[in-house]
Homo-oligomer: A and B are copies of this chain.
């Protein structure tokens, strides 16, 4: 008996809807913006197909992490980007599967749309930043650290993995897509690490100082759930100073880049400017 091939029309409409619900929910789009700006800083232009594919892929990975982190078994959140979380609308099983599908779609996008010569480096970069030594590992440490008193180096490790790895990868993907030199890639990496650090400190600060309406998600969540934060460990003023120091270091890393990196400089400033 003939067995037909699977086709893209086989994708269940409700699954496609669940994926679309979270992917189109808005958000700052910081990671894809960093991909494209880093490509531009390294001499490419906005039409670079490898940068476009990487930008889409990293937003899919980021959104997958939000959908899974919000699950009842994890952070148990009901609000995300101002809307009910995915599992509140589609149920837990669908939210798990929609998140899973975003990961496969991310890698498929790079494999299909990026320059074939760059695909190995791009896939490796994205996978390593997302995996056990990156974002997913950071989420494990974050959950393990709840209701424990962490020292600053432990908190910094969680931040570096959970948020920093993917932000740094966003920058590196853009540089790789542009065919950056080794020294360009090193500078972009230093920029990305410092922007990632500043971003997470600001996130911690905003959780303390904002309303749910401003953030589009629950606030004071970290203190309520016993999570360790920068303000909790070193206070609000020192946290703000540390964020500004990281932004300065990020901008300083771009000293050898000309005006093509102005977008990246503005992005670094934006990280500490939002409601800070």
| Residues of A that sit less than 8 Å from B by CB | 1, 3-12, 14-16, 19, 64, 68, 71, 73-74, 91-94, 96-97, 99-101, 103-105, 107-108, 110-112, 114, 116-117, 119-121, 123-124, 126-134, 136-137, 139-141, 143-144, 157, 160-161, 164-165, 168, 189-190, 193-194, 196-197, 242, 245-246, 249
In the complex formed, the residue of B with least CB distance to A169 is: B6
Docked complex Cα distance between A120 and B49 (Å): 15
Q: 18 additional contacts, CB 8 Å, given A64-B100, A101-B131? A: A1-B246, A3-B190, A3-B194, A6-B165, A10-B137, A15-B136, A15-B137, A68-B96, A73-B91, A73-B96, A74-B93, A97-B140, A100-B100, A101-B132, A108-B131, A111-B119, A112-B120, A116-B117
A to B CB contacts below 8 Å, 9 in the list: A1-B245, A3-B193, A5-B168, A5-B189, A12-B132, A16-B132, A104-B130, A108-B131, A114-B120
- Whether the Cβ atoms of B73 and A140 lie closer than 8 Å is no
- What residues of chain B lie closer than 8 Å to A7, measured between beta carbons? 133
- What residues of chain B lie closer than 8 Å to A137, measured between beta carbons? 10-12, 15, 101
Q: Which of B6, B117, B128 contacts A134 (CB 8 A)?
A: B6
- Whether the Cβ atoms of A120 and B111 lie closer than 8 Å is yes
Task: Please give the count of copies of this chain that the complex contains.
Answer: 2
- Interface secondary structure of A, over-half rule: helix
A29 to chain B: closest CB distance in Å?
Answer: 22
- What residues of chain B lie closer than 8 Å to A74, measured between beta carbons? 93, 96
- What residues of chain B lie closer than 8 Å to A3, measured between beta carbons? 160, 164, 190, 193-194, 196-197, 246, 249
Docked complex Cα distance between A73 and B86 (Å): 14
In the complex formed, the residue of B with least CB distance to A141 is: B12
Taking A123-B123, A164-B6 as contacts, is the C-beta distance between A140 and B14 under 8 angstroms?
Answer: yes
- What residues of chain B lie closer than 8 Å to A129, measured between beta carbons? 6
